[in-house]
Chain A
């Protein structure tokens, strides 16, 4: 029983850490329509930022400033924000698929830097030996994992409430205006490039927070954590959950990550011995099938965006048309 609780605690911790990155993407794509194809870059900036700022002294490289944890975490978030500001300014003219390719390139470049700039990042070996905050104070690993989950829950709640407030505010309407029709927004005297930049940087900082918590939880970060598959995973979570809906983003994370690892567990438990060697490959097929089937059933995600549903569903439009044609 305690084993199950321990595993679920672990599962939820990772899922909710990823959910934060999905919320960040939801701000960029769901509300503003920015196609970020380089999520790992901002995730990685946060992760490396916190380990370098808060980690132990390194013999052969930069880092080991040993800053107090909250400052290191904020540092990680800010470094993701700074990277996003640079990328955002450079790509201010780019939209949709062009932005996607540009950000994808940034992510590949950053992974390459992490792999090669040994002085800064420890190279392919990664950075290990990070002391998790309060771990020695709490002692018991199980209690610590519960406490960590609690902190991650607080972070998710904070990000969620921040985003909900943001998108309900006039600025939130501005985001959607830019997403739906930039020219109309300009005609109202708004500046879409500024709005896009703010949204991009805020979203990237949220991704940096996710990366920071991730590196803290594993007490380790290496370029292998920045593989492009993470970008795909985060996107799958948002699309399955329903872009433009923050609750959907969190639900989608739980569903996709749950089926991602759950399918592996199920195959290990159920597949016959002689299939076990191929279970890994079957798992990929299962993961793909679950994503595709969910999207076939609910093309707009598990929890679609509420606003747009009111305006654009067929019944609604028909009702309007009928009402107008009635007399």
Chain B
């Protein structure tokens, strides 16, 4: 008992010492910042998960750029980042602490819809804080917003599943596939897109042989793979993540499944290509929301490469970048830094009639100047000229991509007008 007590004491002491060191090393960092005032914004993102950390990194990158351009109202922006652990309880607690203790007027996040939703309904909407998610794609948000429960405080820069599903159906139709089997990730995003794609395909007269749910982290997916395989589809649609995608693809190909594959943006990863093998992926085509054909979009890719020395290939990176930029521009335009006031300005900085501005330092400086003169601007982001509808949703131009030896290359491009027109024909 004595020994364990002293162990305990020394352990606690080490813990406290560590925290003290953390605190001490903070001081030089904060004094190194240029502006003499700071404004806080909050971010709740799954930083302890492999695919979540780059999303947070990109958000911080956007904040750094904005600070370089002069910050919001002359003040540096500090993004207070909290981890969600992909646990709704933890995410909501982090959001609540940011709103109540750090008094942030804007909250970025979360990634999973199952975390973003309770944050929206129990923290940000009641407290009047604007929430902008980079990556939550569930159609449930559209319903909640349409019910008037978000008070116009909710936005997301990730095109809804509706948009992506339509593009998937279009790709399948273009390639003339007559019957399709579907693998979908068994979560809100996967169930949504799987169902929507199946419905769209039926509308287009293409047979869906079966849809199989893929649960996370199974050692083998043989049961699911054989279930789809025995319905003999001509082509395959995959809306799953790389980790499970690798296992599914290996079993699918080893059992002689078709290589005519259409894939969702989640599979656009070098890890997936390397683990499956390029020789099996030559006929795979994927869909993703697309950057617009402007210099500002390639500017994002160039800036990202200069900063991180890699392509922005992970899911949600451009969306995370745009979420930050639009929030900060709206803060710049807002007469006061409250959630409602900022949210009301989002339309003014994403006005299609406004002066186009790009997200690099010079473009941001110009945007800040124009906003100061009371003019509307049209933010040209990494995901395009973002425009929100009344429910805080965005539509987006889309592209088709395929893997090559170096990474990912584009196959074709669908401008925003084409995507919207196609969705209209589908919903008739």
Chain A: residues with CB nearer than 8 A to chain B? 3-4, 6-7, 10-11, 14, 112, 115-116, 118, 123-126, 128-129, 141, 217-220, 222-225, 227, 229-230, 260-261, 264-268, 270-281, 283-284, 286, 289-290, 293-294, 296-297, 299
Contact = CB atoms under 8 A, between A and B. Distances in A.
B92 to A, nearest CB: 7
Contacts of A281: 47-48
A124 B213 CA distance: 12
B87 A227 contact: yes
A218 B80 contact: no
B186 A124 contact: yes
B188 A293 contact: no
A43 B96 CA distance: 23
Nearest to B213: A116
> Which one of B12, B23, B96 has the highest number of Cβ atoms from chain A below 10 Å of its Cβ?
B96
A126 B117 contact: yes
B89 A296 contact: no
A119 to B, nearest CB: 13
Given A126-B140, A141-B126, A296-B7, A280 B85 contact: yes
Interface string B107-142: 000001111011001100011000000000011100
A273 B144 CA distance: 35
A276 B22 CA distance: 11
A220 B186 contact: no
Contacts of A277: 47, 53, 56-57, 60, 81
B144 A264 contact: no
A72 to B, nearest CB: 18
Nearest to B78: A273
20 contacts: A10-B100, A11-B93, A125-B138, A128-B121, A129-B143, A220-B118, A220-B122, A224-B112, A261-B94, A264-B94, A265-B94, A268-B82, A276-B47, A277-B57, A278-B47, A280-B47, A280-B48, A280-B52, A281-B48, A293-B11
Contacts of B190: 124
B188 A126 contact: yes
B83 interface: yes
A242 B23 CA distance: 33
A301 B149 CA distance: 44
Interface of B: 4-5, 7-8, 11-12, 15, 19, 22-23, 25-26, 29, 46-49, 52-53, 56-57, 60, 80-83, 85-90, 92-94, 96-97, 99-101, 103, 112-115, 117-118, 121-122, 126-127, 138-140, 143-144, 147, 149, 186-188, 190-192, 213, 215
Nearest to A118: B191
Contact of B88 (A218, A265, A266, A290): A218
Nearest to B114: A224
A136 to B, nearest CB: 12
Contact of A224 (B22, B115, B192): B115
Contacts of B52: 280
B164 to A, nearest CB: 16
Contact of A6 (B86, B100, B149): B100
Contact of A4 (B100, B143, B191): B100
Given A14-B89, A277-B47, 13 more contacts: A3-B103, A6-B100, A128-B140, A217-B122, A222-B88, A224-B87, A230-B89, A276-B81, A280-B48, A284-B48, A289-B15, A296-B7, A297-B8
Contacts of B88: 218, 222, 224-225
B192 A218 contact: no
B90 A265 contact: no
B81 A219 contact: no
Contact of A124 (B87, B92, B147, B191): B191
A267 B15 CA distance: 12
Contacts of B126: 141
A272 B22 contact: yes
Contacts of A224: 86-88, 112, 114-115
A125 B29 CA distance: 41
Contacts of A279: 47, 81-83
A138 to B, nearest CB: 12
A270 B29 CA distance: 11
A123 B48 CA distance: 26
A301 to B, nearest CB: 14
A50 B15 CA distance: 42
Contact of B188 (A112, A125, A290): A125
A272 B100 contact: no
A227 B57 CA distance: 27
A104 to B, nearest CB: 16
B72 to A, nearest CB: 18
Closest 8 CB pairs of A and B: A280-B83, A280-B48, A224-B114, A297-B8, A280-B47, A7-B100, A141-B126, A3-B100
B114 A124 contact: yes
A222 B57 contact: no
A96 B85 CA distance: 30
B93 A14 contact: yes
A284 B48 CA distance: 9
A311 to B, nearest CB: 18
Contacts of A115: 186-187
> Which one of B80, B118, B138 has the highest number of Cβ atoms from chain A below 10 Å of its Cβ?
B118
B22 A289 contact: no
A141 B125 CA distance: 10
Contact of B22 (A125, A222, A271): A271
A267 B18 CA distance: 11
Nearest to A297: B8
A275 B81 CA distance: 11
A271 B24 CA distance: 9
A7 B103 CA distance: 11
Contacts of B87: 224, 227, 229
Nearest to A145: B126
B127 to A, nearest CB: 7
Contacts of A220: 117-118, 121-122
Contacts of B56: 276-277
A127 B12 CA distance: 42
